[in-house]
């Protein structure tokens, strides 16, 4: 007989784990130490939740209706959380994003993790909202920083990661063991079939250093980033940003949140799905 799942009251849940794509949800769900039975929802709350526990925290997993993406859809479903779960005070937006490599100082690679918690500057910048100027949109809005409670946890995680020294990869190893084969590190380069003239050749990382964690500003907007010209222009304006994504701008002012992105592409025309599952897995492992 299978073990009966616990059923807790709605006010027992304090952390929201927010995803956009089904593959992100699957990656987060694997990290649950325990899954719980559903609760009765507020009659106006149409979202679907997965409930459970990670460590000492009771958490909810929630995402948008199928096919809905972008900041408006994100603000909509996240705004409904407190209809049912009054005690959810912080959120983690966990999933995939596009990297902005800044060599040699910030060698962001596929499968790395970028966390929206820079040492200075805003956590998230909405790059598609502002005044239209001669050089494109001049950003006039930056978004709320993560709450101090989450920043304290980030500092503790960073300290632990740095203490591992040459064994940094073991930071993720235990968690990544939970994932099936389809979440494993893809072999080789996903850009090998593209024009080699435009590729940047970088040496392999040392064994045990395949995954790096970067703390930086994250650029958020509804534009699917495929143009290197647009990427370069925005990157030049926000020189401490290492990641593009599409949903944080709709979330940060609705629920205090930390944005965690596994790098699945380089925000250019070479986009493919080959790294998405692995990137979702490393983001979930960090969370």
Distance of CA 251 to the CA centre of its chain: 12
CATH (domain of 17): 3.40.50.1580
The number of distinct structural domains making up the chain is 1
In a domain, 241, yes or no: yes
Most confident of 46-50, 106-110, 145-149, 152-156: 46-50
In a domain, 88, yes or no: yes
**Tens digit of each residue's pLDDT (9 = 90 or more) over 216-231:** 999 988 777 666 667 7
**Tens digit of each residue's pLDDT (9 = 90 or more) over 255-287:** 989 999 999 988 765 666 788 999 999 999 888
**Tens digit of each residue's pLDDT (9 = 90 or more) over 120-149:** 888 898 887 655 454 555 555 677 778 787
Q: Which two tokens stand for residue 125?
A: 């910048």
- CA–CA gap between residue 221 and residue 210 (Å, rounded): 29
Q: Which residue has the tokens 């990641």?
A: 243
Write down the pTM of the prediction.
Answer: 0.83
In a domain, 51, yes or no: yes
Tell how many helices (H) and how many strands (E) occur in the chain.
Answer: 7, 14
Domain that holds residue 192: 10-286
Residue 120's SS3 state is coil
In a domain, 134, yes or no: yes
In a domain, 207, yes or no: yes
In a domain, 1, yes or no: no
In a domain, 36, yes or no: yes
């Amino acid at each position: 007989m299978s073990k009966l799942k616990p059923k807790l009251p709605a006010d027992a849940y304090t952390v929201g784990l927010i995803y956009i794509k089904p593959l992100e949800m699957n990656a987060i769900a694997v990290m649950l130490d325990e899954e719980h039975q559903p609760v009765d929802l507020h009659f106006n709350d149409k979202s679907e939740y997965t409930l459970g526990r990670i460590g000492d925290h009771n958490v909810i997993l929630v995402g948008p209706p199928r096919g809905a993406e972008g900041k408006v859809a994100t603000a909509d479903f996240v705004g409904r959380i407190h209809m049912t779960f009054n005690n959810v005070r912080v959120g983690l937006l966990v999933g995939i994003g596009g990297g902005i490599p800044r060599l040699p100082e910030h060698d962001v690679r596929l499968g790395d993790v970028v966390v929206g918690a820079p040492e200075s500057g805003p956590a998230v910048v909405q790059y598609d909202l502002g005044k239209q100027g001669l050089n494109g949109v001049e950003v006039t809005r930056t978004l709320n920083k993560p709450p101090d409670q989450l920043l304290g946890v980030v500092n503790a995680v960073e300290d632990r990661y740095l203490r591992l020294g040459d064994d940094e990869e073991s930071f993720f190893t235990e968690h990544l063991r939970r994932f099936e084969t389809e979440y494993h590190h893809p072999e080789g380069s996903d850009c090998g079939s593209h024009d080699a003239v435009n590729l940047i050749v970088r040496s392999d990382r040392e064994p045990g250093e395949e995954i790096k964690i970067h703390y930086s500003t994250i650029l958020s907007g509804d534009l699917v980033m495929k143009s290197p010209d647009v990427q370069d222009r925005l990157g030049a304006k926000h020189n401490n940003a290492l990641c593009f994504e599409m949903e944080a701008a709709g979330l940060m002012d609705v629920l205090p949140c930390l944005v965690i992105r596994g790098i699945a592409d380089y925000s250019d025309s070479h986009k493919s799905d080959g790294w998405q599952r692995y990137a979702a897995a490393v983001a979930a492992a960090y969370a």
